[in-house]
């Protein structure tokens, strides 16, 4: 039984590994999403790519199962922009991986000194809950404003 699973896994990898669409999506990993972006009554999941210039967007399961799943092209750009705008980054391009349009790729540009993948990694728990990105991760002690001394 175990050998059948291994063989099926190898055959599947050989077959799907040659597809540019599948290979592009697999560049973002097989694990859970890095962030969730609420958008109206829907939510979208974000995966940060290893190339450090793009991320993948997919609708959350609740959006798909709730009767949604098909969104106008402009929505994908708005979701991408909503994700990166709080840290000063912008979106240069958003396009679907395939004609089905279930997964989209967003190319981002950040100002000097903004490391989007590092910010996402540092804020992973908050981002998974749908919180927006912050320029300084909440766990960073320098992010906490210091009390001003009172003048007597």
Please tell me which residue, 71 or 66, carries the higher pLDDT value.
71
CA distances from 48 to 64, 118, 140, 146 (A): 21, 10, 22, 33
pLDDT, residue 37, reads 95
Per-residue pLDDT of 73-89, as tens digits, reads: 899 999 999 999 999 99
pTM score above 0.85? no
Distance CA 41, CA 29 (A): 27
Q: Is the pLDDT of residue 133 over 80?
A: yes
The whole-chain average pLDDT of the chain stands at 76
Q: Is the pLDDT of residue 119 over 50?
A: yes
Q: Is the pLDDT of residue 149 over 50?
A: no
Strands 54-59 and 35-39: unpaired
Domain definitions of the chain by residue range: 18-130
pLDDT, residue 4, reads 43
- Of these ranges, 23-27, 53-57, 58-62, the one predicted with the greatest mean pLDDT is 53-57
98 pLDDT tier (thresholds 50, 70, 90): confident
- Of these ranges, 31-35, 42-46, 147-151, the one predicted with the greatest mean pLDDT is 42-46
32 pLDDT tier (thresholds 50, 70, 90): confident
């Amino acid at each position: 039984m175990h050998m059948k699973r291994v063989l099926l896994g190898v055959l599947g990898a050989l077959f799907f590994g040659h597809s540019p669409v599948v290979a592009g999506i697999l560049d973002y990993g097989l694990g859970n999403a890095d962030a969730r972006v609420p958008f109206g009554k829907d939510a979208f999941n974000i995966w940060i790519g290893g190339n450090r210039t793009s991320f993948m967007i997919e609708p959350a399961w609740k959006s798909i199962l709730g009767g949604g799943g098909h969104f106008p092209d402009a929505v994908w750009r708005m979701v991408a922009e909503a994700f990166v705008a709080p840290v000063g980054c912008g979106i240069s391009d958003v396009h679907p991986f395939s004609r089905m349009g279930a997964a989209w790729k967003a190319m981002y540009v950040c100002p000097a000194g903004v490391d989007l993948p590092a910010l996402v990694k540092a804020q992973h728990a908050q981002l998974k809950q749908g919180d927006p990105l912050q320029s300084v991760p909440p766990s960073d002690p320098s992010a906490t404003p210091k009390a001003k001394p009172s003048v007597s």
